[in-house]
Amino acid sequence: MKKHNFSAGPCILPQEVFEKAAQAVLDFNGMGLSILEISHRDKAFVAVMEEARALALELLGLTGKGYQALFLQGGASMEFLRVPYNLMKVDGKAAYLDTGTWASGAIKEAKPFGETVVVASSKPDNYTYIPKEYSIPADADYFHCTSNNTIFGTQMKSFPETNVPMVCDMSSDIFSRTLDFSKFDLIYAGAQKNMGPAGTTLIVVKEEILGKTGRAIPNIMNYQQHIEKESMYNTPAVFAIYTSLLTLQWLKNLGGIAAIEKLNEAKAKLLYDEIDRNPLFKGTTVKEDRSNMNATFLLADENHTALFDSMWKAAGISGISGHRSVGGYRASMYNALPIESVQVLVDVMKELENKI
Ligand code: PMP
C-alpha cells in the first residue's frame, strides 16, 4: 500500500509521473528501447531536453525575458560554487543572507572567491526566523538568499528590493507558489523536491548577468558554456530530466503554479492549525515565517515520543522525523503530496490527544 510520504527529499512525486517514468524505462516512446539505453543525442531525448527547458521557463513566467534554463549535475551544492565562479568579480564582493544550513553552505563556498558579506543571520536564534532588516551593499556583485529553509521550516514571504543581481536557492519550494520570478537573475533548485528524482539541478539564469567577472572559468563550471551547448556540454542526467519533464507537464495540466499554490496553502493551513490548537504540540519557528513546504514541530512533552511514533507509523505515515541535526518532527508537504495525507497526520495528532 502506498505510504503517506512526508519525506523532505528525495520525496513524493505524482503517481502518474512514477508510472510514466517506469514505462519509459521499459520502452521509451514506443521506440523499442529504454530511455536508459539511448544516446542523449538521439532526437527523442533532445526533444525532451528542449521541452523541459522551455516548460520550466513557461511555468515560471520567464519565456522571452532573456532567461535560459539548464539542467546540470552536482546538486544544488554544486551551484553554491558555480554561482561565485560565474558572478563574483575578481576582487569583487558578494552579499549573502544566512537563514539556515544550506544558506551557510553557500556562504562557505563563496568565501574563497572574494569578500563575502553576510548581511544578516538568524543563526544565534537557531534559524527560527527570517531576518528582515538588513541592507545590501550597493557595490555587491550579487545578493544570494534561500527562499525556503528545508531543515528549519522557514520560508521567505517577501524578497528585498535591490539593484544588485538577485540569486536564489529555491531547491525546496520551486514551482510551489507564485512569485514575480523576473525579480531574480539566477534561480537554482535541486530536482529532488518539487520536480523529479535526485540527479539534476534546474538553473534559470538571465543571460545578461554572465561573462562579467574577469576570471577564467573551467568549462564545467561555466554557465555560458552550458548555455552554448544547450545543456548538453557533458552527458546530461537523462532519466532525472525526463522524469522532471513529466512532473512539469503534470503541473501545467493541473493549472500551473497558481493552482498548486492554493492546494499547498490548504495543506499547510490544515497542519499548522492543528499544531497551534493541540496542546501536545508546538511549532519551532516564528509564525509569520512558517514554510508551506516543510512544517517543523515538537511534542510539548518528549515522554509521548514512543507512543506518537508508533501511532503515525501504524497510520502508514513515512518520513516525518526531523532532520538529524535538529530532531523533532518535520512534515514536508511538497506539490505531489495529497491533502488526504495531511489529514491522516492531523487525525493521528488528534487521536494522541484523546489517548492522553
Ligand atoms: N539547498 C536547499 C534549500 C536544500 O534543501 C538542499 C538539500 N536538501 C540543498 C541546497 C543541497 O542540495 P543537494 O543535495 O542537491 O546538493
Same-domain pairing of 139 and 92 = yes
Residue 256 CA to ligand 1 centre (angstroms) = 24
Residue 294 CA to ligand 1 centre (angstroms) = 13
Tally of domains in the chain = 2
The CATH number of whichever domain residue 126 belongs to comes to: 3.40.640.10
Catalytic residue among 98, 173, 185, 193: 193
**221 within 8 A of 48, measured Cβ to Cβ:** no
As given in the structure block, the three cell numbers for residue 112 are: 574563497
SS3 118: strand
Average pLDDT, the chain: 97
Same-domain pairing of 239 and 273 = no
Q: 86, 79, 87: which is closest to 109 by C-alpha?
A: 79
The CATH number of whichever domain residue 271 belongs to comes to: 3.90.1150.10
Q: Is 93 a catalytic residue?
A: no
Please give the Cα distance from 314 to 56 (Å, whole number). Answer: 38
Same-domain pairing of 87 and 214 = yes
Q: What is the pLDDT of residues 204-261, one digit of tens each?
A: 999 999 999 999 999 999 999 999 999 999 999 999 999 999 999 999 999 999 999 9
Residue 169 CA to ligand 1 centre (angstroms) = 8
- Report the pLDDT value the prediction gives residue 324, as an integer from 0 to 100: 84
**Residue stretches of the annotated binding site for L-glutamate:** 41
Same-domain pairing of 198 and 338 = no
Same-domain pairing of 275 and 177 = no
Question: Which residue out of 101, 150, 167 has the highest number of ligand 1 atoms within 8 Å of its CB and is therefore the one to mutate?
Answer: 150
As given in the structure block, the three cell numbers for residue 325 are: 541535526
**Residue stretches of the annotated binding site:** 41, 76-77, 102, 150, 169, 192, 234-235
- Report the pLDDT value the prediction gives residue 157, as an integer from 0 to 100: 98
Alpha carbons within 13 A on the beta-carbon side of 63? 9
Has residue 3 been placed in a domain?
A: no
* Average pLDDT of the segment spanning 162-177: 98
86 lines ligand 1 (CB under 6 A): no
Q: Report the nearest atom of ligand 1 relative to the CA of 100.
A: 3
Residue 29 CA to ligand 1 centre (angstroms) = 32
Q: What is the pLDDT of residues 153-167, one digit of tens each?
A: 999 999 999 999 999
- Report the pLDDT value the prediction gives residue 349, as an integer from 0 to 100: 98
| Minimal-distance CA residue to ligand 1 atom 9 | 76
Has residue 6 been placed in a domain?
A: no
Strand pairing class (154-155; 201-206): unpaired
Q: Report the nearest atom of ligand 1 relative to the CA of 201.
A: 15
Q: Is 301 a catalytic residue?
A: no
Among 254, 275, 296, residue at a domain's last position: 254
Has residue 45 been placed in a domain?
A: yes
171 lines ligand 1 (CB under 6 A): yes
ipTM of this complex: 0.99
9 lines ligand 1 (CB under 6 A): yes
Has residue 5 been placed in a domain?
A: no
Catalytic residue among 98, 141, 169, 185: 169
Same-domain pairing of 323 and 288 = yes
Among 199, 224, 254, residue at a domain's last position: 254
Q: 206, 244, 256, 241: which is closest to 62 by C-alpha?
A: 206
Same-domain pairing of 142 and 288 = no
Same-domain pairing of 201 and 96 = yes
Has residue 1 been placed in a domain?
A: no
Same-domain pairing of 71 and 184 = yes
CA 41 to centroid of chain Cα atoms:
28
Same-domain pairing of 307 and 207 = no
Has residue 138 been placed in a domain?
A: yes
Strands (E), the chain: 4-5, 67-72, 93-98, 115-121, 142-146, 148-149, 154-155, 166-169, 186-190, 201-206, 281-283, 294-299, 317-318, 329-332
Q: What is the pLDDT of residues 7-63, one digit of tens each?
A: 999 999 999 999 999 999 999 999 999 999 999 999 999 999 999 999 999 999 999
Has residue 243 been placed in a domain?
A: yes
Residues 6 or more apart whose Cβ sits within 8 Å of residue 126? 152, 326
Has residue 342 been placed in a domain?
A: yes
SS3 22: helix
77 lines ligand 1 (CB under 6 A): yes
243 lines ligand 1 (CB under 6 A): no
- With residues binned 3-state (H G I as helix, E B as strand, rest as coil), the percentages for the chain, rounded to 5, are 40, 15, 40
As given in the structure block, the three cell numbers for residue 164 are: 544588485
Measure Cα distances from 232 to 41, 46, 70, 223, 286 in Å. Answer: 9, 9, 9, 12, 43
Q: Which residue has the cell 517577501?
A: 158
DSSP tag of 287: G
Among 186, 221, 254, residue at a domain's last position: 254
Range of the domain at 134: 16-254
DSSP 71-106: EESSHHHHHHHHHHHHHSPTT-EEEEEE-SHHHHHH
Q: Is 355 a catalytic residue?
A: no
Q: What is the pLDDT of residues 258-309, one digit of tens each?
A: 999 999 999 999 999 999 999 999 999 999 999 999 999 999 999 999 999 9
Same-domain pairing of 240 and 116 = yes
100 lines ligand 1 (CB under 6 A): no
Same-domain pairing of 250 and 261 = no
